[in-house]
Amino acid sequence: MSAFDCIIVGGGIVGAALADVLCAEGLSVALVEARSIGAGTTACGMGHLVAMDDNAPELALTAWSVALWRELRDDLPMAVEYDACGTLWLATDEEELAAIAAKVASYRGAGVRAEVLDAAALREAEPALTPDLVGALRVPDDAVVYPPRAALHFARRAQQRGARLMPGCPVAELRPDGVVLENGEVLAAGHVVLAAGVASPRLCPDLPISPRKGHLLITQRGAPVVRHQLVELGYLKSAHGSDGASVAFNAQPRVTGQLLLGSSRQPGVGSAQVEPAILERMLKRAADFLPGLDALRALRVWTGLRPATPDGLPLLGRHPGKPWLWLACGHEGLGITTATGSAQLVADQLLGRASAIDARPYAPSRFEVLHA
Ligand SMILES: Cc1cc2nc3c(=O)[nH]c(=O)nc-3n(C[C@H](O)[C@H](O)[C@H](O)COP(=O)(O)OP(=O)(O)OC[C@H]3O[C@@H](n4cnc5c(N)ncnc54)[C@H](O)[C@@H]3O)c2cc1C
């Protein structure tokens, strides 16, 4: 038996960021990963670090997390591809343009810079976009990273601070005093944190986490020049408003001269297979916004499974029915962004100290099903 202060199950961006923070506090940590660091949903994500204002707790966590990423930026290796490109939320009609005023107020209220671009300013900022757009909301401090390399960076920094990285070690069972690996090895620890993303319910079946599938596509080089992460404002409606599959325009400039295009959402769908019909809908939507896309070739398409909770917020804190188990999972489509804030919130709770933001909205105890 090896003894650690803390075992983190799952080496995605959330587990890796937590390992980094806990090691910086002097704890002995094992980061136990079934495959390789960042190989789960983290390897499939878009890497948009985005302040989102669907609701107050989401805005608090995302705004804080984006600010924490900004503090880290000078120490990030080139391979993480941190790009402070900002976000443009695109309005297709006057109704969406009118909604921007309220969004500006809510962002500013959370300390996030935001400004309105009219149609002419938008055309100047992003000439490759269709001229039909009526304006945009610009959030200049949003950014982009390459998620699997960001996870690897956190894990390696944790390792330099003494963490034991254990890739290729699937955990079979969680226990109050540690974990049992699939090979039968037992690891002992004072604390166990479950950060296994969409696979978390396999180890803790009562968790209200389900897959929400997404498709992405990366173009060949030579894509239309785009300077910001571009997202249609209708994204919020299509992302959260329906039970069926939805697509929305989302485009990200990569430093390689490629464009990363998304995205789709299929609640409850857990298959990794690429679905041509969804992809076609997604690309048609993208071409509506970026007419120059028609001439381009796709280099690769893939899917990923977002770990979704019923209220869209992550589970960060003690499992109320199993107080020995800590949860850091259920980040849906914002886990790259919120890895930094989530790691701080869980570390603060583990160490018994206050956090910079109120941790209660993310407490697992909000779900009755976990009290049994
Ligand atoms: C198409 C798409 C686009 C996205 N775009 C963005 C975006 O632009 N911005 C953003 O913020 N977020 C985005 N996301 C969401 C983001 O990718 C996820 O929220 C985030 O990656 C979740 O990280 P995680 O560490 O919780 O999970 P994961 O990355 O899945 O990590 C969990 C790890 O646990 C390991 N594991 C599982 N079972 C076990 C076991 N039994 N034992 C040991 N290890 C185990 C897995 O192998 C995996 O590596 C996107 C997601 C998708 C699918």
Q: What is the mean pLDDT of each run of 10 residues along the chain (372 residues)?
A: 90 98 98 98 97 97 98 97 97 93 95 97 97 97 98 98 98 97 97 98 98 96 90 69 79 92 95 95 94 89 98 98 97 98 98 97 97 87
8 Å CB contact between 39 and 10: no
Q: What is the pLDDT of residue 372?
A: 80
- The contacts of residue 266 (CB under 8 Å, 6+ apart) are 212, 213, 214, 244, 245, 278
Q: 364, 355, 336: which is closest to 153 by C-alpha? A: 336
113 Cβ below 6 A of ligand 1: no
Q: What is the pLDDT of residue 244?
A: 85
Q: What is the pLDDT of residue 294?
A: 81
Report the C-alpha gap between 32 and 9 in whole angstroms: 5
Report the C-alpha gap between 232 and 235 in whole angstroms: 5
* Candidate of 306, 329, 332 to mutate for ligand 1, largest count of ligand atoms within 8 Å of Cβ: 306
Distance between Cα 52 and ligand 1 center (Å) = 18
Report the C-alpha gap between 84 and 73 in whole angstroms: 9
Q: 342, 193, 348, 224: which is closest to 286 by C-alpha? A: 224
In this structure, the residue with its CA closest to atom 50 of ligand 1 is 45
Q: Which domains does the chain have, with CATH numbers?
A: 2-45+147-208+312-371 (3.50.50.60), 87-140+210-307 (3.30.9.10)
Q: Is the peptide bond before 263 cis (omega within 30 degrees of 0)?
A: yes
Amino acid at 41: T
Distance between Cα 9 and ligand 1 center (Å) = 13
Structure tokens at 298: 């796709």
Helix ranges, 126-192 (H): 147-160
Sign, Cα dihedral of 145, 260, 45, 66: positive
8 Å CB contact between 63 and 340: no
SS in 3 state form for 315-338?
Answer: EEEEECCEEEEEEEECCHHHHHHH
41 Cβ below 6 A of ligand 1: yes
Ligand 1 atom with least separation from CA of 38: 49
Report the C-alpha gap between 62 and 226 in whole angstroms: 24
Report the C-alpha gap between 321 and 52 in whole angstroms: 31
- The contacts of residue 43 (CB under 8 Å, 6+ apart) are 147, 148, 304
Q: What is the pLDDT of residue 235?
A: 63
Report the C-alpha gap between 182 and 151 in whole angstroms: 24
* Candidate of 58, 204, 336 to mutate for ligand 1, largest count of ligand atoms within 8 Å of Cβ: 336
Distance between Cα 172 and ligand 1 center (Å) = 19
Sign, Cα dihedral of 174, 178, 179, 185: negative
Distance between Cα 248 and ligand 1 center (Å) = 21
In this structure, the residue with its CA closest to atom 20 of ligand 1 is 335
Q: What is the pLDDT of residue 225?
A: 87
CB atoms within 10 A of CB 336: 29
266 Cβ below 6 A of ligand 1: no
**Radius of gyration for the alpha carbons in the chain, expressed in angstroms and rounded:** 20
Q: 273, 302, 305, 275: which is closest to 202 by C-alpha? A: 305
Report the C-alpha gap between 20 and 15 in whole angstroms: 9
Sign, Cα dihedral of 52, 200, 167, 22: positive
136 Cβ below 6 A of ligand 1: no
Give all strands (DSSP E) within the chain, no chain letters: 2-9, 29-32, 48-49, 87-91, 115-118, 135-139, 143-144, 164-166, 171-175, 178-181, 186-194, 210-219, 229-232, 246-253, 259-267, 298-308, 315-319, 322-329
Amino acid at 300: R
In this structure, the residue with its CA closest to atom 18 of ligand 1 is 335
Q: 186, 166, 213, 209: which is closest to 30 by C-alpha? A: 166
Q: What is the pLDDT of residue 241?
A: 41
Structure tokens at 32: 């136990």
Report the C-alpha gap between 2 and 371 in whole angstroms: 31
